[in-house]
Amino acid sequence: MRFVCSVFRSGWGMLLKSSDLRKCRALPLAAFPLIALLCNCSSRTSQSSSTSDTFELSGIVSPQSVGNGTKIALNGPITASTMGNSSGTYSFTGLPNGAYVVTPSLSGYTFAPSVQNVSINGSDVSGIDFTASQETSHSVQLTWHASTSSVIGYNVYRSTTSGGPYVKINASLVTSLTYSDTAVVNSTTYYYVTTSVDSAGIESVNSNQAAATIP
């Protein structure tokens, strides 16, 4: 039987071969301080497989011209944000498993969908896409007939409920016969009335009601 004995010393090493274990053991240990004696040792390669436990989430914001510069917010086990690149694409890396919420935002634009819920479970997730549309600003232009009495101006009142109650929306008396309401919200119907005010500060009863629906 043959054995291979490896002898190592700090700063140097040597390999000895012997025909039997007893000769291997007969090495004078006192002559080799800090020596490790290994007998019947074979070379083994240990291979360890490392599995990643973090993943990537990615998507595209279109059109590309809008996606470039759109902010994408990520909430979940990790909170982060990034910007769409020149191709409208975005990505988050190093994400652990879990449930996430992805929300795009850019001033002057709305997004469809406005938010996406995403679950990461052991693999990368792609295709979390959004489509941007430019917001359209709306206003309501009101006109009325002049009062038959002597007045110094008018007040404009608004409500989201037909018949009121109404809230005055002009900061000061309107001296013309028109008023533009720019503080309106999409998909909302507004109801308006006006009143006239004389020099003594006496305000008339409400005019007839007019309605406007914002698309």
DSSP 13-60: EEEEEESSHHHHHTS-GGGSTT-EEEES--------------EEEEEE
Q: Which pTM was predicted?
A: 0.49
pLDDT tens across 103-116, in order?
A: 999 998 999 999 99
Burial state string for 43-81 with b = 16 or more CB within 10 A and e = fewer than 16: eeeeeeeeeeeebebebbbbeeebbbebebebebeeeee
pLDDT tens across 93-150, in order?
A: 999 999 999 999 999 899 999 999 999 999 999 999 999 998 888 999 999 999 999 9
Coil vs helix vs strand at 118: strand
Residue closest to 186 by CA, chosen among 135, 114, 141: 135
Whether 119 contacts 169, CB under 8 Å: no
Average pLDDT, the chain: 83
Q: How far apart are alpha carbons 146 and 203 in whole angstroms?
A: 14
Whether 175 contacts 145, CB under 8 Å: no
Averaged pLDDT, 7-24 = 42
